[in-house]
């Protein structure tokens, strides 16, 4: 039985705003004749290739699509530059001529990002603090896209959630870029001090989700050649991160039990199974973790029903979803012990009356001692 299949659909998972992008759709016609290749963004067609037409390449205007018509072809679409509207879900659809008239489609997300030009800012730090006084900081990110994730750390440990004060992000109406804010409020006391100092740090991270998938095909119950696909970025993704499907047999019959494992060693990854493009219900899945090697395993178990043999093929796909960090930014404030009553801050972004009070108290002490000594010397 002949089977059209998309071998690979490569889409940049995340690229910097303004960069060019290459979409690559590799397919196997299995001796069938190609009818069309179509590319979509958010389910709207923007490019098609029909080999039998006098002008095989056709394109359609769409926000965010800046097509290099000359360089695009039957497998590649070239975007000579991108903007924030280029962010979205891209699809490749391949169709063959009769008598099969088969159609296959694959989809991938492409995220556009903008790194902030400004550094992180911490507001609210004063010169001095009293022991047991409440301090109130606000961390403000530069303008970027998508929204940056902010985190506070106290002595390199994540700040408790009850210390955090969330604020609505600010969106620049002219650029669409987002500025993020996160407050921190807690009581300063001696327990936070290590080596006579308290370190308060704000960290901003620009992250995106990327996916890696491995596919197995069963045709008439028999195992076919395995294929893999990935979304990629300028940051290299280790091939070891690809999910591994194990347990598949060379041949299945009706009522046989299909018992497969999909595994990955990617930290904090999420695994999903798909059968013919549809996500598998949790009732057929069992998740396990091997704490020794950090391996995550998702088991798929189902009965090979007769209806599966009525389709041209069965596509078994395992997908791993991972978080990838594009960039990190950080800023910190150090508060040091000053005396038993006061704490001295390294950052002096706001004034404090404590400094003047301390100097006034010291001056009074000096004057008092001077007059006492002068009075005592009169009797010598």
Beta strands 103-113 and 12-16 are parallel
CA distance 310 to 107: 25
pTM of the full predicted structure? 0.70
Q: Looking at the domain assignment, is residue 251 inside a domain?
A: no
Q: With b meaning 16 or more CB within 10 Å and e meaning fewer, what string describes 213-222?
A: bbbbbbbebe
Q: Looking at the domain assignment, is residue 134 inside a domain?
A: yes
| Strands of 124-163, DSSP E | 128-130, 134-140, 149-154, 157-158
Largest CA distance in the chain: 124
Residues 90 and 128 both lie in one domain: no
CB 90 within 8 A of CB 76: no
Which of 62, 84, 113 is at the close of a domain? 113
Three-class SS of residue 380? Answer: coil
Residues 155 and 53 both lie in one domain: no
pLDDT score for 378? 56
What is the residue-wise DSSP string for 302-313?
Answer: EE--GGGGGSS-
Residues 195 and 169 both lie in one domain: yes
Count Cα atoms within 13 angstroms, Cβ side, for 254. Answer: 6
CA distance 140 to 204: 9
Q: Scanning the structure block, which residue is given the tokens 């694959």?
A: 106
CA distance 166 to 127: 25
Q: Looking at the domain assignment, is residue 235 inside a domain?
A: no
pLDDT at 69 over 90: yes
CB 366 within 8 A of CB 239: no
CB 300 within 8 A of CB 212: no
Q: Looking at the domain assignment, is residue 269 inside a domain?
A: no
Q: Looking at the domain assignment, is residue 126 inside a domain?
A: yes
- Phi (first) and psi of residue 153, to 5 degrees: -130, 135
Residues 174 and 36 both lie in one domain: no
Residues 58 and 134 both lie in one domain: no
Beta bridge mates, 129: 343
Give the pLDDT confidence of 72-128 residue by residue, as tens digits: 999 999 999 999 999 999 999 999 998 778 888 888 889 999 999 988 999 987 777
Give the pLDDT confidence of 224-265 residue by residue, as tens digits: 654 444 443 334 445 567 889 999 988 899 999 999 999 998
Q: Looking at the domain assignment, is residue 45 inside a domain?
A: yes
- The range of the structural domain enclosing residue 53 comes to 1-113
Residues 67 and 46 both lie in one domain: yes
- Please count the structural domains in the chain: 2
CA distance 98 to 92: 20
Give the pLDDT confidence of 139-177 residue by residue, as tens digits: 999 999 999 999 999 999 999 999 999 999 999 999 999
Which of 97, 113, 129 is at the close of a domain? 113
Residues 94 and 133 both lie in one domain: no
Q: What is the rounded average pLDDT of the residues 210-235?
A: 62
Q: Looking at the domain assignment, is residue 357 inside a domain?
A: yes
Q: What is the rounded average pLDDT of the residues 282-292?
A: 88
Q: Looking at the domain assignment, is residue 356 inside a domain?
A: yes
State the CATH number of the domain containing residue 154: 2.60.40.10
Residue 66: C-alpha distances to residues 19, 133, 256 (Å): 11, 56, 50
What percent of the chain is predicted at pLDDT more than 90? 52
pLDDT score for 284? 95
Residues 171 and 191 both lie in one domain: yes
Give the pLDDT confidence of 4-21 residue by residue, as tens digits: 888 889 999 889 999 999
3-state helix, strand, coil in the chain (%, to 5): 10, 50, 35
Residues 54 and 133 both lie in one domain: no
pLDDT score for 238? 54
Q: Please provide the distance, in angstroms rounded to a whole number, between the alpha carbons at the two ends of the chain.
A: 120
Residues 56 and 23 both lie in one domain: yes
Which of 82, 113, 144 is at the close of a domain? 113
Give the pLDDT confidence of 293-346 residue by residue, as tens digits: 888 999 999 999 888 877 767 889 999 988 888 899 999 998 876 665 666 666
Give the pLDDT confidence of 54-68 residue by residue, as tens digits: 999 999 999 999 999
Residues 1 and 109 both lie in one domain: yes
Q: What is the rounded average pLDDT of the residues 271-276?
A: 92
Residues 74 and 4 both lie in one domain: yes
């Amino acid at each position: 039985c002949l089977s059209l299949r998309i071998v690979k659909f490569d889409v940049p998972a995340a690229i910097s705003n303004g960069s060019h992008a290459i979409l690559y759709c590799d397919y196997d016609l299995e001796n069938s004749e190609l009818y069309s290749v179509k590319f979509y963004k958010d389910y709207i067609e923007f490019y098609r290739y029909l080999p039998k037409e006098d002008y095989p390449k056709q394109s359609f205007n769409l926000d965010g699509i800046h097509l290099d018509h000359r360089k695009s072809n039957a497998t590649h679409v070239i975007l000579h530059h991108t903007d924030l509207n280029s962010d979205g879900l891209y699809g490749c659809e391949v169709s063959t001529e009769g008598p099969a008239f088969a159609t296959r489609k694959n989809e991938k997300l492409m995220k556009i990002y903008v790194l902030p030009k400004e550094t992180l800012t911490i507001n609210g730090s004063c010169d001095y603090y009293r022991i047991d006084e409440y301090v109130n900081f606000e961390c403000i990110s530069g303008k970027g896209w998508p929204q940056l994730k902010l985190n506070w750390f106290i002595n390199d440990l994540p700040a408790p959630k009850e210390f955090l004060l969330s604020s609505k992000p600010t969106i620049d109406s002219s650029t669409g870029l987002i500025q993020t804010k996160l407050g921190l409020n807690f009581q300063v006391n001696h327990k936070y001090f290590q080596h006579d100092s308290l370190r308060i740090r704000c960290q901003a991270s620009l992250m995106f989700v990327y996916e890696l998938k491995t596919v197995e095909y069963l045709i008439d119950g028999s195992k076919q050649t395995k294929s893999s696909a990935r979304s990629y970025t300028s940051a290299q993704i280790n091939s070891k991160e690809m999910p591994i499907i194990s347990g598949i047999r060379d041949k299945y019959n009706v009522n046989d039990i299909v018992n497969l494992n999909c595994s990955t060693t990617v930290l904090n990854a999420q695994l999903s199974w798909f059968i013919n493009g549809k996500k598998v219900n949790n009732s057929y899945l069992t998740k396990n973790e091997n704490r020794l090697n950090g391996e995550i395993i998702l088991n798929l178990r189902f009965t090979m029903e007769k209806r599966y043999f009525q389709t041209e093929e069965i596509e078994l796909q395992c997908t791993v979803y991972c978080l990838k960090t594009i960039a990190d930014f950080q800023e910190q404030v150090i508060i040091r012990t000053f005396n038993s009553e006061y704490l001295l801050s390294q950052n002096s972004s706001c004034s404090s009356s404590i400094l003047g009070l301390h100097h006034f108290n010291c001056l009074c002490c000096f004057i008092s001692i001077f007059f006492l000594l002068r009075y005592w010397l009169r009797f010598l």
